[in-house]
Amino acid sequence: MTERQMLNILKKELVPALGCTEPVAIAYAAAKAKAVLGAVPIKAKVNVSRNILKNAMGVGIPGTDMVGLEMAASLGIFGGNWEIVE
């Protein structure tokens, strides 16, 4: 495979991430936790690193007027499907 062919594949396959991925990671983890429990939890606690907290605290959640990790976790618990990841 030539260098040009490899570059063409990379240009076709790689796309930049737009926005903040930390809330998605929180929602995914919450959805997976619900699946492992086999039920909707009564209470959830989100423990994250300082970097995740800093990056995700003020990020808007699409489709809502809410921001933050609590909302991301809630959406993951109540509406998330951890099996659907592309």
Query: Taking a C-beta distance cutoff of 8 angstroms, is the pair 33, 44 a contact?
Result: yes
Give CA separation, 52 vs 29, 35, 56, in Å: 13, 23, 6
Give CA separation, 17 vs 14, 35, 42, 49, in Å: 9, 27, 33, 21
Maximum mean pLDDT: which of 2-16, 28-42, 52-66: 28-42
**Span 42-57, pLDDT tens digits:** 999 999 999 888 888 8
